[in-house]
């Protein structure tokens, strides 16, 4: 344990992510000292069943009560099931399941008890990554940018680039790898650009009983309703300067904008809204990026990727083209951040969440057997 929280030395850390797309639990091992990535290792995925997704959906937007308790129990059990397979892990990073996010009001809620996981797994767990950032005036999101900075160094980038994560919500990280540290002023700018997969997933579930528009197959045959797209872009969120963040359900009224449309047209329009939000967000980059590397489930949607290629003024590609794993990047991020928390290093900065000063959020729970 002393080596894990020491100021140097590589730690075998595993991060786990259960995102707002509600598809399942991703887990991934990263070898890191909290500054540099030394290597990537084992990964795992545990899909949620339809019944489990129903439990998760029932908890969305809730701050307390039985639905939140039910989500916490489900998420904890699913994570223990996945993480027990990482026998060489020295430290776990547990994000939990975001149910509600209102940093300027109630705060932020990620269901799941990391202390319970530490006891079940018999190894230290870092969790509750967002609360300290929100307490200090930050948005509490996105938190992956410090890891994106390390990834830019890992792939040998020398010019500014953007990591675009298309999960339930879309967020981008502008990285300038010419800086030495992620907390350096100007090294990072990050914010949520708008909704991504969540509205399309909700539409598919409600109309067709499917969890997502697999491969963009439905949207491919549709036509974008420009009137609905214009109403979407008139939302005040897009005129706000970053950093800024969203709750999964902040744009739930998007479904109302496409209610009268046929399935294909509705899916195409919601997909176009995601791309348009990203295009608006790119205008905030300090200088044009050399390229955009896309991670998250949205990169598997060729319709969305084509819309991005048309909308943006630089090359757009899945992160795999740079040798990274887009399915596991967020899980890897929380492995990296867990080591930073354990070593007292910052995990967010004014340029990434708008927090008043660099802060290292998170709780380190050590199982009783290791005390």
Predicted pLDDT at 255? 84
What pLDDT sits at residue 361?
A: 86
C-alpha 301/C-alpha 40 separation (Å) is 26
Q: What is the mean pLDDT of residues 198-216?
A: 93
Check if the beta carbon of residue 333 is closer than 8 Å to that of residue 204: no
Same domain, yes or no: 209 and 296: yes
Give domain status of residue 164, yes or no: yes
Using alpha carbons, list the distances in angstroms from residue 211 to 38, 57, 123, 147, 204: 36, 12, 34, 29, 6
pLDDT score recorded for residue 188:
97
At residue 2 the predicted structure's pLDDT band, cuts being 50, 70 and 90, is low
**Whether residues 56 and 75 fall in one domain:** yes
Q: Provide the residue range defining the domain that includes 70.
A: 2-139+331-342+349-370
Specify whether 18 is located in the same domain as 55: yes
Give the pLDDT confidence of 262-314 residue by residue, as tens digits.
999 999 999 999 999 999 999 999 999 999 999 988 999 999 999 999 999 99
Do β-strands 292-295 and 316-318 pair in parallel, antiparallel, or remain unpaired?
A: parallel
Residue 147 confidence (pLDDT):
98
Q: What is the mean pLDDT of residues 38-65?
A: 96
Q: Looking at the structure, do residues 77 and 105 belong to the same domain, yes or no?
A: yes
Task: State whether 127 and 177 are in the same domain.
Answer: no
Asked if 314 and 172 sit in the same domain, the reply is: yes
Establish if 150 belongs to a structural domain: no
Q: Are residues 165 and 226 in the same domain?
A: yes
Residues 90 and 231 in one domain: no
316 with 203, same domain: the answer is yes
**Is the residue at 148 inside a domain?**
no
What CATH number is given to the structural domain containing 213? 3.30.420.40
Number of domains into which the chain is organized? 2
Question: What average pLDDT does the segment 77-96 reach?
Answer: 98
The pLDDT of residue 341 is above 70:
yes
The band of 191, judged by pLDDT with boundaries at 50, 70 and 90, is: very high
Domain-located, residue 253: yes
Residues 91 and 192 in one domain: no
Q: Are 232 and 82 in contact (CB under 8 A)?
A: no
Judge contact between 269 and 142, C-beta under 8 A: no
Write out pLDDT tens, residues 211-244: 899 999 999 999 999 999 999 999 999 999 998 8
When the pLDDT of each residue in the chain is averaged and rounded to a whole number, the result is 94
Answer yes or no: do 53 and 189 share one domain.
no
pLDDT at 3: 66
Q: For residues 313, 315, 320 and 326, what is the CA-based torsion angle, rounded to 10 degrees?
A: 0
Are 58 and 173 in a shared domain? no
Q: What is the mean pLDDT of residues 243-261?
A: 85
């Amino acid at each position: 344990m002393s080596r894990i929280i020491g100021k140097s030395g590589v730690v075998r850390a595993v991060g786990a992510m259960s995102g707002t797309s509600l598809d399942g639990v991703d887990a991934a091992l990263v070898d890191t000292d909290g500054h540099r990535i030394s290597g990537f290792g084992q990964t795992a995925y545990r899909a949620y069943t339809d019944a489990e997704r129903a439990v998760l959906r029932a908890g969305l937007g809730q701050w307390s009560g039985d639905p939140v308790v039910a989500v916490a129990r489900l998420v904890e059990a699913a994570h223990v099931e996945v993480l027990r397979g990482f026998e060489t892990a020295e430290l776990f990073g547990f994000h939990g399941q975001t149910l509600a996010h209102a940093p300027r009001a109630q705060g932020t809620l990620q269901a799941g008890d990391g202390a319970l996981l530490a006891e079940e797994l018999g190894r230290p767990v870092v969790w509750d990554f967002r609360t300290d950032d929100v307490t200090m005036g930050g948005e509490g999101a996105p938190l992956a940018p410090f890891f994106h900075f390390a990834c830019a160094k890992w792939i040998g980038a020398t010019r500014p680039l953007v990591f675009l994560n298309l999960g339930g919500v879309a967020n981008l990280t502008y990285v300038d790898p010419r800086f030495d540290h992620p907390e350096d002023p100007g090294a990072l700018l990050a914010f949520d650009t708008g909704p991504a997969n969540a509205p399309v997933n909700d539409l598919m579930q409600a109309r067709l009983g499917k969890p997502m528009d697999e491969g963009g197959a439905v949207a491919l045959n549709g036509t974008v309703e420009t009137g609905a797209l214009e109403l979407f872009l008139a939302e005040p969120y897009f005129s706000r300067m970053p950093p800024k963040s969203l709750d999964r359900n902040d744009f739930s009224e998007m479904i109302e904008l496409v209610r009268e449309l046929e399935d294909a047209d509705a899916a195409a329009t919601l997909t176009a809204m995601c791309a348009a939000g990203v295009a608006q967000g790119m205008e905030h980059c300090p200088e044009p990026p050399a390229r955009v590397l896309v991670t998250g489930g949205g990169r598997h949607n060729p319709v969305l990727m084509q819309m991005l290629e048309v909308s943006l003024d630089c090359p757009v590609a899945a992160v795999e083209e740079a040798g990274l794993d887009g399915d596991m990047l967020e899980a890897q991020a929380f492995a990296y951040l867990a080591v930073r928390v354990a070593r007292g290093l910052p995990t967010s900065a004014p340029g990434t969440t708008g927090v008043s000063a660099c802060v290292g959020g998170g709780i380190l729970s050590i199982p009783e057997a290791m005390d």
